[in-house]
Amino acid sequence: MPVIAYPEGRKSWQRRTPRGQIAVWFGWLLAVAFTAFCWRVMTEGTIWAFVWDAPTQAADIGARMIPPRWSYFPTLLKPLWDTLNIATLGTLAAIALSVPVAFLAARNTTPSATFVRPLALFLIVASRSINSIIWALLLVAILGPGVLAGIIAIALRSIGFIGKLLYEAIEEIDESQVEAIRATGASGAQILAYGIVPQIMPAFAGISVFRWDINIRESTVLGLVGAGGIGLNLESSLNTLAWPQVTLILLVILATVVVSEWVSAKVRHAII
Amino acid sequence: MRAAPAAARRWRPPPLIANPWLRIAVLAGAALYLVLALGTVEVNWARLSDGWARGLRFVSGFLEPNFSRRWDDILQGMIESLSMTVTSTVVGIAISVPIGIGAARNLVPRPVYLLCRAIIAVSRSLQEIIVAILLVAMVGFGPFAGFLTLSFATIGFLSKLLAEDIEDIDPAPVEAIRATGTPWPSLIAFGVLPQVAPRLLGLSLYRLDINFRESAVVGIVGAGGIGATLNTAIDRYEFDSAAAILILIIAIVMASEYVSGLVRGWAK
């Protein structure tokens, strides 16, 4: 423990040695310099007059947004139902696709750790790296606008999420139970069904509901790129500068997100 | 007691829902929902067969990505995205550490706790892309709007997880430091932060990763970054350029996950 002795005989405790202190200081210096550099690069093209003008703009938009146009609400019911379906069907499709991927990616269940596992891991990373809006953008270009593009976009993004958490859960199971089932002479499928699946079932259900909740949140904005749901109305209201409608849509989205979060928390609480 | 016939004694795993009526009702409800939901999915088969050719072009674009055609745009977008990611993560951390401390029930008086929790709730319930739309309307197009969006989103994420972490710390070191009669700031610096620092580092790296991925999204609505380039490429059906951008994003995310794994292992 570094203790600094002063000439007058007083001693003072220090958290780090002088050398350590310099190293930490230097690390911070580098971090600050790098951030400042990034700041310079980022703000190169920024027109500051617009930025300083932002409070005025915000007040202006705020004034236009109030009050919300409540009479628009009945029009939103169908898109809301579509949004719910995009999230739910997308999650179901993702579950169906991600379960095999997770079993292929888990170290203890993969058929081949050198060939299949890296491929499954790559699928998981690729799916996780691309946000569902970008998947939707692509799918709208390929399939045309509509709910179907939204469902597939949600499914593609969720494979990585569910797959990653599920394969981690599979790797953390208690091997002795698997061993016990194997000792009875069970086949590979039976080991899977009676040794592994019961152990990961709570985690699996929790992950799926959690992802469903995130998907509700994401599917509300997929319409911005044309993939169906309430986001379509948001897009058209924004384009026509119908700010009172925008307020109402944002409120509806907020309410949907809060409700889905509450449902998901309740269900996860009941499972675990 | 007489042994039941062998067939009847065959063991079955217990059903998930014990009550048979409830089980049937849940299954029937789920089936009904599926039928209704699938009924609303309009599939335009003519459009889909058109799309098939385009889908194949996209897949082949993935196999032969074209980095060169839009290289200048891609480079510019990537630089914007990366610089936006770094600055917004740093600013986000700087703001969320005090808010996270303020949102920990065991450290602060109740009014401060409620205020900080309210900030977190607002930041978490607004999605990045919606915030980005509003901010682009306020500060104009370009990466500055993206920077503000990502910083705002970082606050909700990081403060919440940090606060939960602080609420779980071992109270003994805090008590020991409080017993020396130290003022509140040193209590935080020596009793609380050392306990949560490794996890804060891990969360910050994770958020850096998320911010990079999100920086590709905010560009779609005009807030700068690689998303704008990607949007243009897809709008022009240049799937080979789009594939090149997606491959770059995936590669950067993979690299950053690898590095953050190393750093987290080293910090432990």
Which residues, other chains included, contact A49 with Cβ-Cβ below 8 Å and sequence gap of 6+? none
Co-location of A34 and A144 in the same domain: no
Contact B170, B160 (CB under 8 A): no
The predicted structure's pLDDT at residue A26 = 92
According to DSSP H, which parts of chain B are helical? 20-40, 45-63, 71-102, 110-125, 128-139, 143-167, 171-179, 184-186, 193-218, 226-235, 239-267
Co-location of A177 and A120 in the same domain: yes
Condensed to tens digits (0 to 9), the pLDDT of residues B246-256 reads 888 888 888 88
Report the CATH number at residue A168: 1.10.3720.10
Q: Determine contact: B187 vs chain A, CB below 8 A.
A: no
- Distance between A23 CA and the closest CA of chain B, angstroms: 15
Co-location of A8 and A102 in the same domain: no
pLDDT band at B65 (very low <50, low <70, confident <90, very high): confident
When the pLDDT of each residue in chain B is averaged and rounded to a whole number, the result is: 85
pLDDT band at A40 (very low <50, low <70, confident <90, very high): confident
Above pLDDT 70, what percent of chain A?
A: 99
Cβ-nearest to B40 among A58, A82, A225: A82
pLDDT band at B95 (very low <50, low <70, confident <90, very high): very high
pLDDT band at A158 (very low <50, low <70, confident <90, very high): very high
Cα radius of gyration (chain B)? 26
B33 and A88 within 8 Å at the Cβ level: the answer is: yes
| pLDDT above 90: residue A93 | yes
Decide if A119 is inside a domain: yes
Q: Determine contact: B29 vs chain A, CB below 8 A.
A: no
Which residues, other chains included, contact B27 with Cβ-Cβ below 8 Å and sequence gap of 6+? none
| pLDDT above 90: residue B4 | no
The predicted structure's pLDDT at residue B93 = 93
Window 195-214 of B: residues touching A by CB (8 A cutoff) are: 213-214
- Residue A3 CA to residue A5 CA, distance in Å, equals 6
Of A247, A229, A232, A216, nearest to A80 by C-alpha is A229
Task: Tally the residues of chain B.
Answer: 268
Stretch B145-163: mean pLDDT, rounded? 91
Decide if A214 is inside a domain: yes
A85 and B134 within 8 Å at the Cβ level: the answer is: no
Range name among A119-123, A170-174, A226-230 with the lowest pLDDT average: A226-230
Co-location of A145 and A249 in the same domain: yes
Stretch B117-138: mean pLDDT, rounded? 86
Co-location of A99 and A185 in the same domain: yes
| pLDDT above 70: residue B6 | no
Q: Mutation target for B interface from A1, A14, A131, A236: give the one with most B CBs within 10 A.
A: A131
The predicted structure's pLDDT at residue A75 = 84
Contact B113, B102 (CB under 8 A): yes
The predicted structure's pLDDT at residue B268 = 64
Decide if A11 is inside a domain: yes
What structural domains and CATH numbers belong to chain B?
Answer: 71-267 (1.10.3720.10)
- Distance between B134 CA and the closest CA of chain A, angstroms: 9
- Residue A73 CA to residue A76 CA, distance in Å, equals 5
| pLDDT above 80: residue B42 | no
Tokens 């020596």 belong to B190
Which residues, other chains included, contact B267 with Cβ-Cβ below 8 Å and sequence gap of 6+? B197, B198, B201, B202
Co-location of A109 and A18 in the same domain: no
Amino acid identity of residue B99, one-letter, is I
Decide if A124 is inside a domain: yes
In sequence order, what DSSP letters do the residues of chain A get, joined into one string?
Answer: --EEEPTTS-EEE-SS-HHHHHHHHHHHHHHHHHHHHHHHHHGGG--HHHHHTHHHHHHHHHHHH-S--GGGHHHHHHHHHHHHHHHHHHHHHHHHHHHHHHHHHSTTT-S-TTTHHHHHHHHHHHHHHS-HHHHHHHHHHHH-SSHHHHHHHHHHHHHHHHHHHHHHHHHTS-HHHHHHHHHTT--HHHHIIIIIHHHHHHHHHHHHHHHHHHHHHHHHHHGGGT-SSHHHHHHHHHHTT-HHHHHHHHHHHHHHHHHHHHHHHHHHHHH-
Stretch A89-102: mean pLDDT, rounded? 93
Which chain B residues contact residue A34 at CB under 8 A? 86
Decide if A197 is inside a domain: yes
For chain A, how many structural domains are there in total?
2
Decide if A59 is inside a domain: no
Tokens 């849940």 belong to B26
Decide if A58 is inside a domain: no
**Count of C-beta atoms within a 10 Å radius of residue A67:** 8
pLDDT band at B125 (very low <50, low <70, confident <90, very high): confident
Co-location of A136 and A37 in the same domain: no
Co-location of A117 and A184 in the same domain: yes
ipTM above 0.85, yes or no: no
Co-location of A105 and A171 in the same domain: yes
Co-location of A42 and A96 in the same domain: no
Decide if A118 is inside a domain: yes
What are the beta bridge partners of residue A13?
A: A3
Is cis: bond before B15, omega within 30 of 0? no
Cβ-nearest to A125 among B90, B246, B254: B254
The predicted structure's pLDDT at residue B151 = 94
pTM of the predicted structure, to 2 decimals: 0.82
Co-location of A119 and A243 in the same domain: yes
Domain extent, residue A212, equals: 75-271
Co-location of A105 and A142 in the same domain: yes
The predicted structure's pLDDT at residue B153 = 92
- Distance between B138 CA and the closest CA of chain A, angstroms: 5
The predicted structure's pLDDT at residue A164 = 92
